[in-house]
Structures are given as structure tokens and as C-alpha cells.
């Protein structure tokens, strides 16, 4: 190694960081990756199973949950590049279920206590999560709108659920019966917008979201292990999924009977994908390269710039702090660091995490990408210390 990109000693320290956290029961195992200026280092640590002997591998397959979001947003922007969508377009042209919206007078209001929406929902509203629909940060069943979402069985307002029975049309029909939580463009509300994006892509492109992603993103970037499910030939590399508190972990999804082991009815644009560390690196490198890969334009530079620019006001960032974290704004499908000191990241760094145990950031100034995949679900939005320690150590490893 030349020593001009990463410090050899600090790479050892980076590996030690992962090993130390795995040894302290942060997760049975982890795969960490750092990439800079064409140089990649991967560290597969620990085992795939609690108490098992199967070593974690570079090509282990993980449920990347909300790291699906930037991929879905990129698909929307491809349609913008082609002129099939414009950011200012009202989405009701393709999603008539979102026409003539009404808005709750207050979060605790009954569902019929509403006012008219002041304007239509636009494509950009959906991309920035300011469409007026999203996760309510309160215990389940606290408000009438939460109880109605649960009654309708609508995914996109909570943890990933690949067993959800509603298809695109049935999901949109349910969404269309809900009042908005806020006026279009007014508040940042998490996660449901990515599912709306996924349905939008499917309807505009005239094909399932999975096919669009495969043809336009996964195949061109050679993301051979990424998709909405793990086929039988790959299920041996799909790691188990765990949740729990402290050192106590419970397995809730086994590879041999995985909920991700068959095609889902609803291809969730917010959290549905499985992937590997090298596959996701290919997507991250494309973003840092201004949308290009091997001399081919995947996404226009203008679209990448729009995706990686913070579009939130100060009050919208403040309102989303519980999910975004301090100092983070939101572009299209990913966070953008808007202030120094935001969870060890530097201003203009981009990325996002997956609540089932994964994280990613890319720093365009340093041309640095760091990805950490574990099989332990987050207990809160900020994620376990292993992810923050890994991100700090990735910066420390720079020569």
C-alpha cells in the first residue's frame, strides 16, 4: 500500500474498532468497508450467527432497510432526466389517489376534522418527504390517524415488513383515504414518501419497481446481489436478523425461512432491499462520480446535485431531529450534513442508515465512502455506538 490514501496503522485501528464492538456483543459480526480514490479495504469480522462458527464474509447478504431510500430516489431522478417527470409536477397526474387532499387541523384531530390542502403535492414534495404523510413520533395508537393507518395495514409508517399483503394499487387506495398530517411542503415526515416514490416510478415507467431498478441501476453498476429478496441460490449468504437490548439478542428472521426469501407483494421503496457491501459501494461511487460509472452516465450530474443538496428549512430540520439527528438536513432519499460535528461527519457528507443494522456515508470533499453492515437492528434512530465509532475511525484512517 502506498500510504497516500489510507494510513496503514489507522486501518489496523479501524479493524480493531469493529472487533472491539463485536466482542462486546454489539453484533455477532459485521462487514466494514472504506473506499477512497480507487482504494478499497474490507473487514469481515465475527460470525453470521450468535454463538455460531460460520465466519462473516465479504459477500454476506444483509437487509439494508432504509439504505433503500437513496436508490429509490435515484430511480425517480432518472425519470426526471428523461423528461417523463418534472420536480414541480403535481403527482396526482400519475397518483390520482393523492388529488384533492385534505389536512388534519391538528395531529390529535379526528379524521374528519380537516381543512383543504393549499396546493397539490408535487414530485419534489415526495422526494423531500414534505408531502404531508409520514411517521408519527408517538407510541402506536396514540392518535386517530395512527389507528387508521394500522387498521388499513399500510406499510411505510413503521419497520420494514416484506410480508405486507397490499400491492401498489391497494396501498395507494388506502393512502388516498387518509388526511394529510401537514400541508404539502410544510413539514419533514419520515419514510412513507419513499414508498410513494416507488409506486410513482412503477406507474410512470410502466413496469415493476424491481425491474426498473434491475435494468437501470443494478445491472449497469454490477450490483449482482441487490434486490427485494434473496433467491434460493443466495439464501446461504443471507445473514440472520436480530433484535434485542444490550447483550440479549433474539433472531426474528432466519435465512432458511426468511421473510426476504421470496418476492414481496409490495416492493417497498423505503426499506425493502437486500444487498452486500460491494454492491452498495458501487452505488455510492456512482453518486460521488456525479452519476457516472465506467464512462457511462447513470444519472445526470444535475440530478446528483439535487439529491445531495439539503432542501430543508431550519425549522424542518429541527422538527425532524429525532430521526435525522443534530446537524443533518435532507436531500432526495438521503441525509446531508448541514453543520460540523454531526455524529462525527463533516459538512456536505451524505448517506443514511438502515434500521436493521446498516450504515453508509460518503464525503465528497475527501472522496471517502464508509459502509458498515451488521445484522443487529437499531434500538433507536441514532443507531448503536459501533456505527458512530466506525465512522469516526474511517476519518482517522485518512493519510
Tell me, what CATH number does 112's domain have? 3.40.710.10
Q: How confident is the model at residue 341 (pLDDT cuts 50, 70, 90)?
A: low
Number of Cβ atoms within 10 Å of the Cβ of 211: 13
User: Does residue 363 sit in the same domain as residue 236?
Assistant: yes
Q: Among the listed ranges 87-101, 260-274, 326-340, 353-367, which one has the minimum average pLDDT value?
A: 326-340
Task: Assess if residue 303 is contained within a domain.
Answer: yes
Read off the pLDDT of residues 222-240 as tens digits, 9 standing for 90 and up.
Answer: 999 999 999 999 999 999 9
Nearest to 126 by CA among 94, 167, 82, 166: 94
Read off the pLDDT of residues 31-83 as tens digits, 9 standing for 90 and up.
Answer: 999 999 999 999 999 999 998 999 999 999 999 999 999 999 999 999 999 99
**Residue-level pLDDT at 342:** 62
Task: Assess if residue 3 is contained within a domain.
Answer: no
In this prediction, what percent of the chain has a pLDDT beyond 70? 97
**Residue-level pLDDT at 2:** 43
Q: Is the pTM of this model over 0.85?
A: yes
Number of Cβ atoms within 10 Å of the Cβ of 358: 29
User: Does residue 376 sit in the same domain as residue 253?
Assistant: yes
User: Does residue 50 sit in the same domain as residue 23?
Assistant: yes
Radius of gyration of the chain (CA): 20
**Residue-level pLDDT at 339:** 77
User: Does residue 152 sit in the same domain as residue 293?
Assistant: no
User: Does residue 251 sit in the same domain as residue 392?
Assistant: yes
User: Does residue 253 sit in the same domain as residue 338?
Assistant: yes
The whole domain housing 141 covers: 73-208
Mean pLDDT of 166-185: 98
Read off the pLDDT of residues 14-29 as tens digits, 9 standing for 90 and up.
Answer: 999 999 999 998 899 9
Number of Cβ atoms within 10 Å of the Cβ of 252: 13
| Total domains present in the chain | 2
User: Does residue 365 sit in the same domain as residue 275?
Assistant: yes
User: Does residue 353 sit in the same domain as residue 226?
Assistant: yes
Nearest to 30 by CA among 392, 366, 399, 389: 389
Task: Take residue 18 and report the three cell numbers written for it.
Answer: 469493529
What are the distances in angstroms from CA 134 to CA 46, 158, 178, 194? 36, 9, 11, 10
Residue 391: which residues within 8 A CB-CB, separation 6 or more? Answer: 343, 344, 345, 359, 361, 370, 372
Q: Which residue has the higher pLDDT, 328 or 399?
A: 328
CA 134 – CA 180 distance, rounded (Å): 9
User: Does residue 250 sit in the same domain as residue 366?
Assistant: yes
User: Does residue 166 sit in the same domain as residue 276?
Assistant: no
CA 107 – CA 182 distance, rounded (Å): 9
Amino acid at each position: 500500500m502506498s500510504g497516500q490514501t489510507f494510513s496503514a496503522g489507522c486501518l489496523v485501528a479501524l479493524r480493531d474498532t469493529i472487533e472491539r464492538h463485536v466482542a462486546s456483543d454489539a453484533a455477532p459480526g459485521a462487514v466494514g468497508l472504506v473506499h477512497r480514490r480507487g482504494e478499497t479495504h474490507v473487514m469481515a469480522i465475527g460470525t453470521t450467527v450468535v454463538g455460531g462458527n460460520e465466519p462473516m464474509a465479504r459477500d454476506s447478504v444483509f437487509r439494508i432497510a432504509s439504505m433503500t431510500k437513496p436508490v429509490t430516489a435515484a430511480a425517480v431522478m432518472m425519470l426526471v432526466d428523461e423528461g417523463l417527470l418534472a420536480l414541480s409536477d403535481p403527482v396526482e397526474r400519475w397518483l390520482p389517489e393523492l388529488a384533492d387532499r385534505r389536512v388534519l387541523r391538528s395531529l390529535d384531530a379526528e379524521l374528519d376534522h380537516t381543512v383543504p390542502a393549499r396546493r397539490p403535492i408535487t414530485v419534489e414534495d415526495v422526494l423531500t418527504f414534505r408531502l404531508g404523510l409520514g411517521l408519527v413520533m408517538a407510541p402506536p395508537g396514540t392518535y386517530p390517524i395512527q389507528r387508521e393507518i394500522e387498521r388499513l395495514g399500510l406499510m411505510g409508517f413503521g419497520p420494514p415488513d416484506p410480508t405486507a399483503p397490499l400491492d401498489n394499487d391497494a396501498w395507494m387506495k388506502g393512502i388516498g383515504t387518509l388526511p394529510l398530517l401537514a400541508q404539502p411542503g410544510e413539514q419533514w415526515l419520515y419514510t412513507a414518501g419513499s414508498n410513494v416514490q416507488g409506486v410513482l416510478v412503477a406507474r410512470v415507467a410502466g413496469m415493476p419497481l424491481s425491474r426498473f431498478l434491475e435494468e437501470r441501476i443494478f445491472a449497469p453498476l454490477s450490483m449482482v446481489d441487490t434486490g427485494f429478496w434473496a433467491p434460493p441460490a443466495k439464501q446461504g449468504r443471507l445473514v440472520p436478523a436480530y433484535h434485542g437490548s444490550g447483550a440479549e439478542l433474539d433472531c426474528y428472521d432466519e435465512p432458511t425461512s426468511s421473510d426476504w426469501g421470496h418476492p414481496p407483494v409490495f416492493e417497498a421503496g423505503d426499506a425493502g432491499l437486500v444487498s452486500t457491501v460491494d454492491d452498495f459501494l458501487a452505488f455510492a461511487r456512482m453518486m460521488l462520480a456525479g452519476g457516472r460509472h465506467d464512462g457511462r452516465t447513470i444519472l445526470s450530474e444535475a440530478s446528483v446535485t439535487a439529491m445531495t443538496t439539503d432542501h430543508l428549512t431550519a425549522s424542518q430540520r429541527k422538527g425532524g431531529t429525532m430521526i435525522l439527528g443534530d446537524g443533518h438536513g435532507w436531500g432526495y432519499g438521503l441525509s446531508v450534513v448541514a453543520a460540523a460535528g454531526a455524529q462525527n461527519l463533516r459538512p456536505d457528507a451524505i448517506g443514511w442508515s438502515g434500521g436493521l443494522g446498516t450504515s453508509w456515508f460518503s464525503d465528497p470533499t475527501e472522496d471517502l465512502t464508509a459502509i458498515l453492515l451488521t445484522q443487529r437492528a437499531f434500538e433507536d434512530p441514532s443507531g448503536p455506538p459501533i456505527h458512530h465509532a466506525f465512522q469516526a475511525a474511517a476519518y482517522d484512517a485518512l493519510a
